[in-house]
Each structure stands twice: as structure tokens, then as C-alpha cells.
Amino acid sequence: GAVVSQHPSRVICKSGTSVKIECRSLDFQATTMFWYRQFPKQSLMLMATSNEGSKATYEQGVEKDKFLINHASLTLSTLTVTSAHPEDSSFYICSASGLAGGPSGELFFGEGSRLTVL
Amino acid sequence: GENVEQHPSTLSVQEGDSAVIKCTYSDSASNYFPWYKQELGKRPQLIIDIRSNVGEKKDQRIAVTLNKTAKHFSLHITETQPEDSAVYFCAATFLSGGSYIPTFGRGTSLIVHP
């Protein structure tokens, strides 16, 4: 199957700093990328949907100024958590769909990034 | 928008038993229904999927059934093994604004006791 790579897998930062997480599709063109947040033992909470070259569509309740999403190319999307606070600590996962999945919408997930804000 | 309900939230079985997880969806436009398995701290992995023009699909010990009329689909795991223990997510996918958007269920934590 297609490969989606997400970095970093773990990051610890101080409160008030910004953290950038990258999501790359390694062997296909990802026309759409999704960013999820997952709390322990809970489901995937969709934060935003991004299409290459356009602004991301954020879900209700997600602060767009705090969670900056950029999808500048068909193989890379980034999520920047600005001025991070302890309540932003979570597991963030990206997923991508595109030509590799065909028109069915099959998703390919990144490995996830565990963010801990001290 | 789409709404996906998944039950049960927790399922505990003995090794060798069968496990069934059920999902319902609300939007008749959804036409692709994948199931993902997620082990602790890892990414969700696609284990089986079904499209709206098919009623049932099987892959070894795993099967999925779809009832379009009733808008529900189910995951069946037979002869469960301890390594099947994980969280399972269903999803209903529909087309919106040119992109296929998945809506996930809340997940089922499957525990298989040796």
C-alpha cells in the first residue's frame, strides 16, 4: 500500500513554544490530507481537511490560528501548534488520500506524533 | 453531515470465539466503508473495506457485511486470537466538495483473552 510518513514521532516542548509536525506521502500524490487528534482510548477527532494549494477547512471548535495547517504540495502537509500549552498534549495523526487510493477515498495514515507540552 | 455510530465500545471475548462490531451511518451518499485496526500508540491500519455495490466481503478470518437499506455495516472476526486485541474503527466515506471525506465511529476496544 501507499506510504505516509509523519515526523516527529515524539516531541516534548515548553509551554509557549511552537511545534511543527510534517506529514509526507512518499509514493503518491495526496490531493487531500486530514489531521486528527486522538486522546487516550478515544476515537480519531478530525481537526481539519486540507487540499493542496488551498486553505484548510477546520472543524467546528478547532482554532485555526492555533493549529496552522499548510498543504503547499501534493506530498507535504504540515501542522504547526502555536504557543503550545499543556492541554494541547495529545497524539496527532495525519492521513492522506489521493491517486494511490483511486476514487474510493481510501486513506493512508502517518505514524502519529505524540506531543507533550510541559 | 455524516454521523457514524459504533457499538459496542468494549468487547471482551475468549480466544477462539467470534467477535462482531456494528456500525450505522446516516448519509445515504456514503459509498465506501473501511475498517481500521489500531494498536496502542500506533497508526490505524486498514484491515478490510467494502463498497456500496457489494453486500459482503471476506478475507480469511475477517468479514464485513453491508446493508445499504438499513444503513449499517458490521465487522466479523472468527476464531479470535490474542493478537486481534486492539481498537477497531469503522468509517463511512462520502464525496464532499470534490474530496472523499471519512467519518469515523468512536471505536471498539476488543480484548481477546487467552
**Band (B98; pLDDT cuts 50, 70, 90):** low
pLDDT tier at A102 (50, 70, 90 boundaries)? low
| Average pLDDT of the segment spanning B95-110 | 83
Return the amino acid letter for A85: H
pLDDT at B53: 85
Reported as type and span, the H/E element at residue B26 is: none
For B57: left if phi > 0, alpha if psi spans -120 to 50, otherwise beta; the answer is beta
Reply yes or no on whether the pLDDT at B82 is more than 80.
Answer: yes
pLDDT-derived band at B99, boundaries 50, 70, 90: low
pLDDT value, residue B65 = 97
Per-residue pLDDT, A100? 47
CB atoms under 10 Å from CB of A117, counted, come to 20
**For residue B102, which residues of chain A lie inside 8 Å, CB to CB?**
34, 105, 107
Average pLDDT over residues B60-78: 97
pLDDT tens, position by position, A19-57: 999 999 888 777 789 999 998 878 889 999 988 778 899
pLDDT-derived band at A90 (thresholds 50, 70, 90) equals very high
**DSSP character string of B46-98:** EEEEEETT-SEEEETTEEEEEETTTTEEEEEE-S--GGG-EEEEEEEEEEETT
Mutate to test the interface with A, among B2, B101, B109 (most CBs of A within 10 A): B101
Q: How far is CA A28 from the centre of its chain?
A: 17
**What is the percent of chain B where pLDDT is above 90?**
80
Residue given cell 493542496 in the structure block: A52
pLDDT computed for residue A103 by the predictor: 52
Query: With 70 as the cut, is the pLDDT of residue B33 above it?
Result: yes
For residue A105, what is its C-alpha cell? 477515498
Rounded CA-CA distance A85/A107 in Å is 30
pLDDT digits (tens, 9 = 90+) for B42-53: 899 999 999 888
Looking at residue A15, what is its pLDDT?
96
Interface of A with B in 51-70 (CB under 8 A): 51
Tell me what pLDDT residue A41 has: 77
Cβ-defined contact of A111 to B43 (cutoff 8 Å): yes
Q: Which of A93, A106, A111 to mutate to test the interface with B (most CBs of B within 10 A)?
A: A106
Higher-confidence position of B74 and A75: B74
Of A105 and A113, the structure prediction assigns the larger pLDDT to: A113
Task: Please indicate whether, in this complex, the C-beta atoms of B42 and A44 are within 8 angstroms of each other.
Answer: no
